[in-house]
């Protein structure tokens, strides 16, 4: 087990006009499960590969357990990598795949047998040990890849989208298995995904990256409730937050047009400190739906309703007056409807944010 520190760490490719990873500072605690998340090309895999020693660090340093490993070779870093492709040897059985690195390290045979048996038990792989990868399901291959990492007793697990080749249902069950296993083993883990739900459900903390730079690192709920900027607000949460731009706050209300103000449900002290025009962010569950306008709501036309069983989401177009100074990003407001709230497509609803539901940027 170990701590991990990135200090002003950068990776620069000649093919890019900006660094792929740009002066990253990140402290990961001993035993922590840290998820790197962000859109395609934001530098997640490169960051992970720099830690594992598979990609050089062009500027800055990386420390594992306080030791500078920046110039150490991958095999001397004690990081076990789990790849999206699993990278299993096709001509070897599961047992041989799991034993391979230990044999190379000249571990005594009895000890290898013991370690492989323990990992196989933990991952419920005992019946598969003599099978080759071609004769296994995707989920089974994924578990062998995990087993291969576990038997090494590494200081750090580096996982690069290990679930992306599994179908949706298996992904959900496997993600909780990996999270449980990680907590049981207590091995510091850095996990890359582009899937924000995976990040939010698995990580002790989530690090959101964009264009090679860290946007925010926090616990999942904090990230959801207090996004540092509109990028994080928009990336975390599904369906996405509604962002209303160019809002002038007056009292505790947002000026939506001549003589029309939407109640923001915000603390008056905070309102008085909100300067100039701001962007207001409201999550789908943050809206209160009223049957008619009472002078504090905005009207929306319901375009689509997504019924998920336990809840439903209405995707709506804002019906702002022509003189309204505000714009709604993507011209779409998403509202979660309560169980007993029956909305229908085409109807006009009146909404306002509930108390403390609005974020300001
Ligand atoms: P994805 O989710 O699509 O895998 P990512 O966030 O993991 O994306 P990286 O693979 O880290 O992103 O890539 C970051 C940037 O660096 C991208 O613009 C990518 O094209 C570039 N890049 C990655 N590897 C190389 C390389 N070997 N040579 C040149 N550019 C590279």
**pLDDT tens track for 124-178:** 899 999 999 999 999 899 999 999 999 999 999 999 999 988 888 889 988 999 9
Question: What is the reported pLDDT for 309?
Answer: 83
More confident residue, 205 or 173: 205
Spans of all domains in the chain: 4-235, 242-360
Closest residue by CA, ligand 1 atom 1: 40
Is the pLDDT at 273 greater than 80? The verdict is: no
Comparing 161-165, 291-295, 311-315, the range with the smallest average pLDDT is 291-295
As a whole number, the mean pLDDT across the chain is 93
Output the CA 60–ligand 1 centroid distance in Å.
Answer: 19
Comparing 22-31, 162-171, 298-307, the range with the smallest average pLDDT is 162-171
Neighbours of 104 (CB within 10 A): 9
24, 44, 208: residue to mutate for ligand 1 pocket, most atoms within 8 A of CB:
44
Q: Which of the four pLDDT bands, split at 50, 70 and 90, describes residue 276?
A: confident
Pocket of ligand 1 (CB under 6 A): 13, 15-16, 20, 38, 40-46, 194
Output the CA 125–ligand 1 centroid distance in Å.
Answer: 33
Is the pLDDT at 227 greater than 80? The verdict is: yes
6, 9, 10, 16: residue to mutate for ligand 1 pocket, most atoms within 8 A of CB:
16
The CATH superfamily assigned to 242-360 is Nucleic acid-binding proteins (2.40.50.140)
Q: Could you give the percent of the chain with pLDDT greater than 70?
A: 100
Q: Which of 66, 247, 93 is nearest to 155 (CA)?
A: 66
Output the CA 235–ligand 1 centroid distance in Å.
Answer: 19
Question: What is the reported pLDDT for 112?
Answer: 95
What one-character-per-residue DSSP string does 269-310 give? HHHHH--SEEEEEE-GGGEEEESS--SS-EEEEEEEEEE-SS
Contact 295, 350 (CB under 8 A): no
CATH of domain 4-235: 3.40.50.300
Question: What is the reported pLDDT for 25?
Answer: 98
Average pLDDT over residues 27-45: 97
Ligand 1 atom having least distance to the Cα of 16: 30
Q: Which of the four pLDDT bands, split at 50, 70 and 90, describes residue 251?
A: confident
Phi, psi for residue 286 in degrees, rounded to 5 = -85, -10
Ligand 1 atom having least distance to the Cα of 194: 2
Closest residue by CA, ligand 1 atom 9: 43
Question: What is the reported pLDDT for 108?
Answer: 95
């Amino acid at each position: 087990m170990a701590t991990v520190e990135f200090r002003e760490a950068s990776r620069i490719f000649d093919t890019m006009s900006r660094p792929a990873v740009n002066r990253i500072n990140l402290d990961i605690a001993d035993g922590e499960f840290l998820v790197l998340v962000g859109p395609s090309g934001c530098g997640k895999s490169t960051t992970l590969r720099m830690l594992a020693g598979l990609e050089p660090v062009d500027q800055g340093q990386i420390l594992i357990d306080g030791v500078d490993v920046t110039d150490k070779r991958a095999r001397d870093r004690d990081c076990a990598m789990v790849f999206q492709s699993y990278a299993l040897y096709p001509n070897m059985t599961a047992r041989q795949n799991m034993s391979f690195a230990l044999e190379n390290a000249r571990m005594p045979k009895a000890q290898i047998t013991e370690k492989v048996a323990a990992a196989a038990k933990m991952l419920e792989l005992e019946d598969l040990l003599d099978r080759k990868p071609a004769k296994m399901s995707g989920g089974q291959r994924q578990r062998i890849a995990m087993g291969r990492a576990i038997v090494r007793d590494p200081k750090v697990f580096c996982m690069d989208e290990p679930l992306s080749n599994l179908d949706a249902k298996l992904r959900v069950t496997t993600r909780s298995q990996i999270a449980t296993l990680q907590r049981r083993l207590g091995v510091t883990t850095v996990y890359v995904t582009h899937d924000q739900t995976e990040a939010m459900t698995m990580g002790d903390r989530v690090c959101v990256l964009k264009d090679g730079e860290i946007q925010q690192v926090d616990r999942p709920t904090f990230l959801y409730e207090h996004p540092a900027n509109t990028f994080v607000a928009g990336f975390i949460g599904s369906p996405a937050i509604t962002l209303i731009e160019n809002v002038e706050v007056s009292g505790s209300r947002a000026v939506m047009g001549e003589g029309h103000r939407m109640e923001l449900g915000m603390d008056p002290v905070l309102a008085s400190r909100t300067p100039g025009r701001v962007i207001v962010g409201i999550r789908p569950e943050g809206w209160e739906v009223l049957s008619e306008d009472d002078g504090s709501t905005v009207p929306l036309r319901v375009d689509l309703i997504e019924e998920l069983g336990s809840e439903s989401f209405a995707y709506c177009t804002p019906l702002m007056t022509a003189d309204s100074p505000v714009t709604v990003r993507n011209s779409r407001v998403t509202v979660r409807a309560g169980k007993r709230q029956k909305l229908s497509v085409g109807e006009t609803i009146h909404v306002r944010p509930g108390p403390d539901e609005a974020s300001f940027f």
